[in-house]
């Protein structure tokens, strides 16, 4: 194993967020599940967009947000994901590169337009997401550069990759290359309904050791083990996962392995403006910490710090330097 070129390489659906504030009755009227990510087709995308209020376009995508967070901590970060060479695709490519992330996936010259997530932010800060995958559908195994994967200390994958038809194969190729190179593979379960769609395959990934590190929030964990009891789910997780982190919103997180269960508190937040990206940024801090050789507790504190920053403003990417924040709190050199 040679020295890593990147600390973290993420693979995910490349998406531009279209964010608007909303009242909860809009969600009810349009039959949306509050807090969930729902996949939509182009026709539904058009009708939701026509009905929703004035919006702001910000580059998003769960794993992409995480990778931008890693870069904001000062980590060497890379991202793989598919956009089209159209207006929003160029916005996505600009933003991720401008954040200091290596992004070399070729933009598609034709096919579906760049993926969009219509994010409706409720007065309580909760976000309800409607995703039109668009060009992200076209991520293929050929987009996975084996040298890049082998050169990353951690390859980070999102559960959402199970939705587009070829991305799953890209995912498995990357995991296999990473393990051959003796690197770590991490997975986020992404969303409770995504777990519902792909439960058996996600359990296989954990049990087979395809995934070394699992990120889940409480709803995703409960969905994975089909139980409403946290302790039951956590016990099952500890039996099966090498290392897992369960995020619990304002209750903080639990780092779980066979030998240990470590609870780390959340960072206080003045005002929850928009929870979009909280989980993504938690993962950023934890992954950056691990790649730097931090213990689980410091890694979790870095995660909590990044999550607190991102829920204090609209949008799922940090607006301040996470490196500077971590230094202020004595969590980084």
Site for a copy of itself in 62-91 (CB under 8 A): 68, 86-88, 91
DSSP letter at 84 equals B
Site string for a copy of itself, 96-135 (x = CB under 8 A): x-xx-------------x----------------------
Letter string b/e over residues 267-278, b meaning 16 or more CB atoms within 10 A of that residue's CB: bebeeebbbbbb
Our finding on whether 324 is near a copy of itself (CB under 8 A) is no
Q: Which of 13, 59, 122, 137 binds a copy of itself (CB under 8 A)?
A: 59
Q: Which of 4, 27, 55, 219 binds a copy of itself (CB under 8 A)?
A: 55
For a copy of itself, the closer CB: 48 or 234: 48
For a copy of itself, the closer CB: 93 or 185: 93
For a copy of itself, the closer CB: 301 or 317: 317
Q: Which of 43, 54, 228, 268 binds a copy of itself (CB under 8 A)?
A: 54
Site for a copy of itself in 230-289 (CB under 8 A): none
CA distance 23 to 123: 7
Residues 241/206, Cβ–Cβ less than 8 Å: yes
Residues 319/313, Cβ–Cβ less than 8 Å: yes
Stretch that binds a copy of itself, among 50-58, 158-166, 181-189, 250-258 (CB under 8 A): 50-58
For a copy of itself, the closer CB: 289 or 315: 315
57 closest CA partner among 86, 26, 28, 23? 86
Q: 15-21 and 56-59: which strand pairing?
A: antiparallel
Our finding on whether 24 is near a copy of itself (CB under 8 A) is no
Q: 77-80 and 6-11: which strand pairing?
A: parallel
Letter string b/e over residues 214-223, b meaning 16 or more CB atoms within 10 A of that residue's CB: bbbbbbbbbb
For a copy of itself, the closer CB: 49 or 193: 49
Smallest gap, in angstroms, from Cβ of residue 57 to a copy of itself?
Answer: 4
Residues 53/23, Cβ–Cβ less than 8 Å: no
What residue ranges in the chain does DSSP mark as E strands? 6-11, 15-21, 37-39, 56-59, 77-80, 102-103, 115-121, 127-132, 152-158, 184-188, 213-217, 243-247, 253-257, 261-264
For a copy of itself, the closer CB: 106 or 209: 106
Query: How many residues of this chain interact with a copy of itself, rule: CB under 8 A?
Result: 26
Smallest gap, in angstroms, from Cβ of residue 87 to a copy of itself?
Answer: 3
Our finding on whether 94 is near a copy of itself (CB under 8 A) is yes
List residues near a copy of itself by CB under 8 A: 20-21, 49-50, 52-59, 68, 86-88, 91, 94-96, 98-99, 113, 315, 317, 319
């Amino acid at each position: 194993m040679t020295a890593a070129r990147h600390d973290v390489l993420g693979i995910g659906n490349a998406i531009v967020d279209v964010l608007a504030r909303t009242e909860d009755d809009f969600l009810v009227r349009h039959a949306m599940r509050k807090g969930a990510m729902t996949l939509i087709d182009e026709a539904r995308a058009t009708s939701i967009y026509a009905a929703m209020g004035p919006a702001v376009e910000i580059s998003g995508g769960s794993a992409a947000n995480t990778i931008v967070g890693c870069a904001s901590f000062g980590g060497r970060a890379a991202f793989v994901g598919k956009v089209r060479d159209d207006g929003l695709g160029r916005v996505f490519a600009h933003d991720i590169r401008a954040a200091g992330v290596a992004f070399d996936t070729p933009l598609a010259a034709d096919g579906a337009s760049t993926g969009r997530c219509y994010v409706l932010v409720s007065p309580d800060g909760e976000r309800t997401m409607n995703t039109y995958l668009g060009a992200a559908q076209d991520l293929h195994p050929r987009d996975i550069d084996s040298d890049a994967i082998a050169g990353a200390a951690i390859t980070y994958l999102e559960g959402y990759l199970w939705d587009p038809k070829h991305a799953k194969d890209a995912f498995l190729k990357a995991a296999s290359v990473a393990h051959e190179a003796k690197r770590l593979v991490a997975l986020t379960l992404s969303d409770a309904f995504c777990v519902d769609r792909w439960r058996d395959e996600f359990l296989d990934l954990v049990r087979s050791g395809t995934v070394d590190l699992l990120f889940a929030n409480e709803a995703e964990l409960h969905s994975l083990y089909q139980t409403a009891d946290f302790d039951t789910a956590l016990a099952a997780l500890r039996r099966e996962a090498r290392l897992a982190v369960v995020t619990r919103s304002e209750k903080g997180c639990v780092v779980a392995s066979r030998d240990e269960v470590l609870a780390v508190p959340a960072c206080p937040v003045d005002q929850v403006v928009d929870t979009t990206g909280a989980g993504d940024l938690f993962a950023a801090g934890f992954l950056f910490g691990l790649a730097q050789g931090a213990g689980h507790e410091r890694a979790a504190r870095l995660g909590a710090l990044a999550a607190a920053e991102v829920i204090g403003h609209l949008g799922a990417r940090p607006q301040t330097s996470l490196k500077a924040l971590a230094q202020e709190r004595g969590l980084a050199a």
